[in-house]
Amino acid sequence: MLVVNNSPIPQFPNQQLTMNKTYLPNSNTQEHDWYVVDATDQRLGRLASEIAIILRGKNKPQYTPHMDTGDFVIVVNAEKITVTGKKRTQKVYHRHSGRPGGMKTETFAKLQQRLPERILEHAVKGMLPKNSLGRQLFTKLKVYAGPTHPHESQKPQELKIQTIPAGAEN
């Protein structure tokens, strides 16, 4: 054995050192499951972070950062989502028409009354990557205000997400 700078270097005269290859899932054989989440009395941020993990595929062993390995998520009863503290009146959502002076602001309560799906979509979109992969992942999120959805033919599985911490029941 040859020693250089106090570190042993193995000598293999006729053999090259090889490295193991990293597993890369094949996008053609990838399975994307469908899940249904009931948002009734769920906390907004905690639910959004769990949904983002499923959309991204981080709950799977074949997760790869640059690939779409996640599943489809259907959220029903988005109108019954909750927030804590004074966020119902103090949380403000902004949108801009692109014209000078075109900024529109709306509180959580007003937006929940007008378009309850947009609240959860906005929260989840902020937790996804800000690039073309994030835009592709966002298309796999389906949010509905009421208890019904048009995706029964995909045979979605019920997914229980507990966002209310133990001992924090109202």
Q: Which CATH class is domain 32-158?
A: alpha beta
Structure confidence at residue 83 (pLDDT): 96
Average pLDDT of the chain?
90
The pLDDT tens digits for 88-144 are: 999 999 999 999 999 999 999 999 999 999 999 999 999 999 999 999 999 999 999
Return the residue matching tokens 């309560």.
109
Q: 0.75 exceeded by the pTM?
A: yes
Nearest residue to 45 via CA among 124, 110, 114, 111: 124
The pLDDT tens digits for 145-168 are: 999 999 999 999 999 998 887 666
Could you give the CA distance from residue 3 to residue 33 in angstroms, rounded to a whole number? 54
Check whether 10 has a pLDDT greater than 80. Answer: no
**Domain boundary assignment for the chain:** 32-158
The band of 70, judged by pLDDT with boundaries at 50, 70 and 90, is very high
Say if residues 33 and 70 touch (Cβ distance below 8 Å): no
Number of CB atoms found within 10 A of residue 81's CB: 23
The pLDDT tens digits for 37-50 are: 999 999 999 999 99
Could you give the CA distance from residue 76 to residue 73 in angstroms, rounded to a whole number? 10
Tokens at 1, concatenated: 């054995």
